[in-house]
A and B are shown apart, each in its own frame.
Chain A
Amino acid sequence: MESIRQLLQIVPRFGDLPQAFQVFLALLISCAVILAVALVCVLYLVWMERKVSAHMQDRLGPMYVGGWHGWAQTIADALKLLLKEDIIPAQADKILYRIAPVLVFVAAFAAMVVLPFGERSIVTDLNIGVLYVVAITSLSVVGIIMAGWASNNKYALYGGMRGAAQIVSYEIPSAVAIMTVVIMVGSLSMQDIVRAQLGGIHRWFLFRNPFTFFAFFVYFICSLAEVNRTPFDIPEAESELVAGYHTEYSGMRFAFFYLAEYVNMIVVAGVAATLFLGGWSQALPVSWVPNQLIPGPVMFTFKVLLLIFVQMWLRWALPRLRVDQLMYVCWKVMLPFALVLLLGSGFLAVYWK
């Protein structure tokens, strides 16, 4: 944001505007940039998901639209969704039904504001960035349960209830796993966390000590559950509930849910990359290669894409969990492990420094 504000000084008489308005304009522009980036990313993540799933099943996936390996398939799909009829069930709660997809998307998108794409490319480096992410991503529960309730459909309601139970439960172990890193760094700011990991791959929290190593896996598994990805996709289990909470949605409103799912994937992969894989920091020690050999945003994008690929990979490796198994994994496995890891990294932070 600050860099955009500096950039805006080029515009004649921009400096004459009131201070608050300058900040507002800079925020608006940086949010627009993030939104555009997110939308384009989602288009290609959907394409990537289809390609990865196809090849894992010995298929080819989209091959025709656009020429090269169907690269324009999702653009065509998005245009189709835009043009589709917007159906609202007669017995639905009209207001909630309209608000729900927007709320889910806003909750997903708002978390991107604090993702550190690079040393200077971050919309706003909140001093409580991690806390903000944890708080804002759980807002999507409200949207999901709203969609399930407003659709006036039993499958949608089941999906909404399951989603609420699942996301609220998995918030806890994932937040505890995040805290292991926060304890080591001593700051909640995303940029501070990345700066604590500068200096090569051995400084990343994934490889720094055993507690954060396991905390990465706890966080990754819990983040899968938080964004309703397989093997934890019981809120939209297509073989049990038709499509879960978005059963009744069509056209652009459905696209919003779809968009939110992929933006959520970017967000949790981005948080995992920031906390455990060093964010935009370089993989090799600074003494070995010239500094900033690969630009920070490229490094960050690469790490995020890698984690998203693992998310897609797990989708075709694991079957869906049952509801009771899901709760078992959360409360009886993830939470005790996360607490032990928190304790361990607390000890390290106090006595090893």
Chain B
Amino acid sequence: MSEYFRDIGRTVVTTYYSMWVAFKHLFTRSVTLQYPTVKMQMPERTRARLFNKIEDCIGCGQCARVCPTDCIDIQTEKRGKDEPEIFASDGTAIKLRTHVFDIDMTLCCYCGLCTFPCPTHCLIMTPSYEYSVYDKRDHVYHFAVDKPRTVKPSKEAAPTKA
């Protein structure tokens, strides 16, 4: 019998306690971020969308080789002897002309492994995370600007999208 009344007393006490806790939370600041209007400040080194500074790229292809999901597609050709020597911003000589540098962001797993071997630090991950598109194909980013020169001038060599 005493246990019966103790249980009732405990019920009342715990009910009031949990109601008090719930009531306190009614007035605590909400943690919700009103997303499209208020955006979270991303940390500087967030691993999100990849970006390649193509002027610095020497076309070595180490990023494509290390990528676990094979999302980087690089095609290069040797620059001709007659062409002027060009250098990346850290002084590395660019011996190859990169005419395809495609990154398929639908495949990317955001591991960031591709950014480490890059000798000229031209492939980086940016904090930009809002890049939804309606068409999946728009998630393939074409960074190359150069056109291939030495390939056969036939119709097969479709010009790469710049």
A-side interface residues toward B, CB under 8 Å? 52, 54-60, 63, 313-314, 316-318, 332-333
Whether B15 pairs with A52 at a CB distance below 8 angstroms is no
Q: Which residues of B contact A59 (CB under 8 A)?
A: 30-32
B13, chain A: closest CB distance, angstroms: 13
Whether A57 pairs with B19 at a CB distance below 8 angstroms is no
Chain B residue with the shortest CB-CB distance to A333: B8
The 16 listed contacts between A and B (C-beta, < 8 Å) are A52-B26, A55-B26, A55-B27, A55-B30, A57-B25, A58-B28, A58-B29, A58-B30, A59-B30, A59-B31, A60-B30, A60-B32, A314-B19, A317-B19, A317-B22, A332-B4
Secondary structure type dominating chain A contacts: helix
A329, chain B: closest CB distance, angstroms: 9
Chain B residue with the shortest CB-CB distance to A332: B4
CA distance A52 to B30 in the complex (A): 12
Chain B residue with the shortest CB-CB distance to A55: B26
| Interface: B133 (CB within 8 A) | no
Whether A63 pairs with B15 at a CB distance below 8 angstroms is no
Option from A54, A60, A316 in Cβ contact (under 8 Å) with B22? A316
| Interface: B34 (CB within 8 A) | yes
Q: Which residues of A contact B18 (CB under 8 A)?
A: 317-318
CA distance A318 to B27 in the complex (A): 19
| Interface: B158 (CB within 8 A) | no
A16, chain B: closest CB distance, angstroms: 57
| Interface: B151 (CB within 8 A) | no
| Interface: B23 (CB within 8 A) | yes
Nearest 6 pairs between A and B by C-beta?
Answer: A317-B18, A317-B22, A60-B32, A317-B19, A316-B22, A60-B30
Whether A56 pairs with B25 at a CB distance below 8 angstroms is yes
B93, chain A: closest CB distance, angstroms: 55
Q: Which residues of B contact A63 (CB under 8 A)?
A: 34
A74, chain B: closest CB distance, angstroms: 19
Q: Which residues of A contact B26 (CB under 8 A)?
A: 52, 55-56
| Interface: B21 (CB within 8 A) | yes
CA distance A316 to B8 in the complex (A): 20
- Residues 7-51 of B, flagged 1 when their CB comes within 8 A of A and 0 if not, give 010000001001101110111111110100000000000000000
Apart from A56-B25, A313-B22: 8 A-B pairs, beta carbons within 8 A: A55-B26, A56-B22, A58-B29, A63-B34, A313-B19, A313-B23, A318-B15, A333-B8
A-B contact count (CB 8 A): 38
Secondary structure type dominating chain B contacts: helix
Option from B15, B23, B25 in Cβ contact (under 8 Å) with A58? B25
CA distance A57 to B23 in the complex (A): 10
B15, B18, B30: most-surrounded residue (chain A CB, <10 A): B30
Chain B residue with the shortest CB-CB distance to A310: B19
Q: Which residues of A contact B25 (CB under 8 A)?
A: 55-58
Whether B21 pairs with A317 at a CB distance below 8 angstroms is yes
B4, B8, B26: most-surrounded residue (chain A CB, <10 A): B26
If A317-B18, A333-B8 touch, does A60 touch B29 (CB 8 Å cutoff)?
no
Q: Which residues of B contact A314 (CB under 8 A)?
A: 19
CA distance A264 to B84 in the complex (A): 84
B49, chain A: closest CB distance, angstroms: 27
If A56-B25, A57-B25 touch, does A317 touch B15 (CB 8 Å cutoff)?
yes
Q: Which residues of B contact A333 (CB under 8 A)?
A: 8
Q: Which residues of A contact B22 (CB under 8 A)?
A: 56, 313, 316-317
CA distance A60 to B29 in the complex (A): 9
Chain B residue with the shortest CB-CB distance to A328: B7
A56, A60, A314: most-surrounded residue (chain B CB, <10 A): A56
B28, chain A: closest CB distance, angstroms: 6
CA distance A55 to B8 in the complex (A): 30
Option from A58, A60, A313 in Cβ contact (under 8 Å) with B34? A60
Whether A58 pairs with B31 at a CB distance below 8 angstroms is yes
A319, chain B: closest CB distance, angstroms: 9
CA distance A54 to B18 in the complex (A): 16
Q: Which residues of A contact B8 (CB under 8 A)?
A: 333
Q: Which residues of B contact A58 (CB under 8 A)?
A: 25, 28-32
A292, chain B: closest CB distance, angstroms: 33
Q: Which residues of B contact A52 (CB under 8 A)?
A: 26
B20, chain A: closest CB distance, angstroms: 8
CA distance A147 to B25 in the complex (A): 37
Chain A residue with the shortest CB-CB distance to B7: A333
Q: Which residues of A contact B32 (CB under 8 A)?
A: 58-60
- Residues 142-160 of B, flagged 1 when their CB comes within 8 A of A and 0 if not, give 0000000000000000000
